[in-house]
Chain A
Amino acid sequence: MSLAKISSVSGRAVAVPGNDIDTDRIIPARFMKCVTFDGLGEFLFYDVRKNADGSDRSHPLNDPRFKGATILLSGANFGCGSSREHAPQAIQKYGFKAIVAENFAEIFFGNCTTLGMPCLSAKREDIAILSAAVEANPGIEVTLDLVKQEIRFGGQRISATLRDSARDALVNGRWDAIGELLEGRNAVAVRARTLPYLAA
């Protein structure tokens, strides 16, 4: 299985500010009644983006200035709560390619990485600078550099980190582990034999 090597992501950005944005908010549970991930994109942030009658509420994703943005900016503890992969799937299927936040909930971070969607952590004040630049000029090109661990936009640069294992996996095109895990089949069998509870 050949995977893309993701060493940078460039595009326009949109800020969805706030801390502790949970996975129920990212994708409300009722949209998880499905047996495939297809079509989840349209339900991203549904309950904060839409009124009960389906009309739009005021939300950055409804703002035409940010239409087509591929980089999502947010606050601390982004993606907390449920382990539902439906959350990163909805973000990715909506069109996002990467997320920048102060920090991420553990399970969500792993889920995003496995989908080849980098989650970069930056300082609160740096995200504020980036968000202000995007607000002032929504067309501004933002580049996330995974190798240099920095974000460049309009002549400015801020640092942004990514834990080593995730960076390695993305940059070297091994973010989906299944191929490598399958290769370890024999070693798995050897290990399994040492654990009595695994006996068939």
Chain B
Amino acid sequence: MAQSLFQKVWNAHAVRTLANGQTQLLIGTHLIHEVTSPQAFGMLRDLGLKVAMPHRTFATVDHIVPTDQFAEPYRDPLAQAMMDELRRNCAQFGITFFDRSTGRQGIVHIVGPEQGITQPGTTIACGDSHTSTHGAFGAIAFGIGTSQVRDVLATQTMALAPLKVRRIEVNGRLRPGVYAKDVILHIIRVLGVNGGTGYAYEYAGNIFDGFSMEERMTVCNMSIEGGARVGYVNPDETTFAYLKGRPYSPKGEAWDKAVALWKSYASDPGCAYDDVFRIDAADIAPTVTWGINPGQGISINESIPDPRNAGAPDEKASIEEALAYMKLKPGAPIKGTRIDVAFLGSCTNGRLSDFREVARFVKGRKVAAGVKAIAVPGSQIVALQCEKEGIDKVLSEAGFEWRAAGCSMCLAMNPDKLIGDQICASSSNRNFKGRQGSITGRTILMSPLMVAAAAVTGQVADAREVFSLNN
């Protein structure tokens, strides 16, 4: 019977059915970081357990690392304590740790693919909701809580019920200036922030066939913002070309065998889906958020919603709450909204192609007066490659601060934070209240090039106009 990738990978990793009907699922790859793992190691010690498969467990440090300080001890003693704890845990349990001294450190969702650890047909778990990123390779990858980190450390398995699968097809042609980020912001806007609850999203159609791995990762990364714990793209030649020659990719004969196996995991033509949703690529515009969740997005040329036009009373209340927090005027254009900070980076858009694209267009331009602009590579390898290509210089000359690899201003666990009610044009993934570190700080999510356009104009702007992109 024709099966989806999700079903095939699930079946290949199902160990047995548990008493409550859930599946004991083998987790082939476990990625850990400093924030959600220390308590799990503590529980492991309390129970007197070892790590079941240390060779399938990989660690890095990302959330708490300062991006402007390399030497330890860090100024923040709590950050240093978390760093020390991870180092100690990895040493004690024999886990590979991509520490900053290795040159391979970075945001966990950038490091896995970069190292070739993320592979098709595998199951991947990490104590971080953006683990869905790894689905870009045709893996089933999802975020877990700390108790489950403990379960995976101790048993290399966890208890889980299968998800339904919704295929999201995007076909047609993306207009100039429309990026992978716009595709996912559009999908979340249309299907809602909880539209994906209970589903894995299978992204398909000629747009995804043509996307690079980095573009696929951007979309899969934000699946969870649409409520879907898992998002994936079927593996193809683009996937294999990306993986070939990476440190953890199979070599020689094993490579050919692996590719054959990987191909076999792709969804069969004619397999059944629980839902199919189709989007015309031409309907997608450069998209920005105006509110306090990633589903509150509009195209750059639309006006900020007016609660008076809201359908349900619920919707009215949520628009009012968002506008009160964002201090935006209903009915006003979003274009022209003044910004204070521009942030380029994160596990959504902190990859080489993101910085290349921005550098291509900001070369010779200057960040507007009064705007603080920071560019934060997602990994040390991304940083090094940018530096080799001179991207760091282009960005620095334009007025961006070029930083060291980490999560930075995406989530407020390191020194990079908004101050007061600063408004930030951000290439990250969440615009929740207080997300960027100030309880009144405001976030507008957008693609990296739109962040660049905002940085050079000092306001939310249409990158197509700012950089003359229209055909």
Contacts and interface: CB of A to CB of B under 8 A. Distances in A.
A104 to B, nearest CB: 8
B413 interface: yes
B194 A187 contact: no
Interface in A156-200: 163-166, 168-169, 172, 174, 176-178, 180-182, 184-185, 187-188, 191-192, 194-198, 200
Given A80-B227, A168-B21, A198 B56 contact: yes
A66 to B, nearest CB: 21
B95 interface: no
A178 B293 contact: no
Interface in B301-348: 314, 318, 321
A114 B40 CA distance: 13
A148 to B, nearest CB: 18
B234 interface: no
B158 A177 contact: yes
B109 to A, nearest CB: 12
A172 B194 contact: no
Interface string B124-147: 000111010000000000111111
Contact of B159 (A37, A77, A180, A195): A180
Nearest to A88: B145
B413 A29 contact: yes
B154 A198 contact: no
Contacts of B435: 24, 29
A111 B413 CA distance: 22
Contacts, number: 208
A105 interface: yes
A32 B78 CA distance: 10
Interface centre among B38, B76, B82, B143 (most CB of A within 10 A): B143
Nearest to A47: B439
Interface string B13-38: 11110111110101010000001101
B24 A184 contact: yes
A115 B156 CA distance: 20
B119 to A, nearest CB: 6
B434 A47 contact: yes
B55 interface: yes
A22 interface: yes
Given A28-B412, A180-B159, A181-B154, A195 B16 contact: no
Interface string A108-126: 0011001100000000100
Contacts of A194: 12
A34 B15 CA distance: 34
Contacts of A166: 20
Contacts of A30: 412-413, 437
Contact of A168 (B20, B122, B229): B20
Given A32-B35, A164-B21, A188 B15 contact: yes
B229 A181 contact: no
B20 A29 contact: no
**Number of chain A interface residues as a range:** 35 or more
A170 to B, nearest CB: 9
Given A30-B413, A36-B39, A198 B151 contact: no
A47 B127 CA distance: 24
B212 interface: no
Given A107-B129, A181-B24, A188-B156, A114 B42 contact: no
B339 to A, nearest CB: 21
A155 B79 CA distance: 52
B282 interface: no
Given A37-B39, A83-B127, A107 B26 contact: no
Contact of B20 (A83, A106, A174, A184): A174
A94 to B, nearest CB: 17
B241 interface: no
A25 to B, nearest CB: 6
Contacts of B246: none
Contacts of A163: 161
B21 to A, nearest CB: 5
B155 A182 contact: yes
A55 B254 CA distance: 62
B64 A33 contact: yes
Contacts of B19: 168, 172, 174, 180
13 contacts: A32-B413, A77-B194, A80-B293, A106-B227, A114-B148, A165-B161, A172-B20, A174-B19, A178-B47, A181-B155, A184-B16, A194-B12, A195-B26
Q: Considering the complex of A and B, which 9 residue pairs feature the smallest CB-CB distances, nearest first?
A: A83-B143, A85-B145, A111-B145, A177-B159, A35-B38, A85-B146, A168-B20, A33-B78, A77-B194
Given A20-B194, A77-B193, A180-B19, 19 more contacts: A19-B318, A25-B433, A29-B413, A33-B413, A48-B433, A80-B227, A83-B143, A106-B229, A110-B144, A176-B147, A178-B155, A181-B151, A182-B155, A188-B15, A191-B13, A194-B12, A195-B12, A200-B53, A200-B55
Interface of A: 18-20, 22, 24-25, 28-30, 32-37, 47-48, 52, 76-77, 80-86, 88-89, 103-107, 110-111, 114-115, 124, 163-166, 168-169, 172, 174, 176-178, 180-182, 184-185, 187-188, 191-192, 194-198, 200
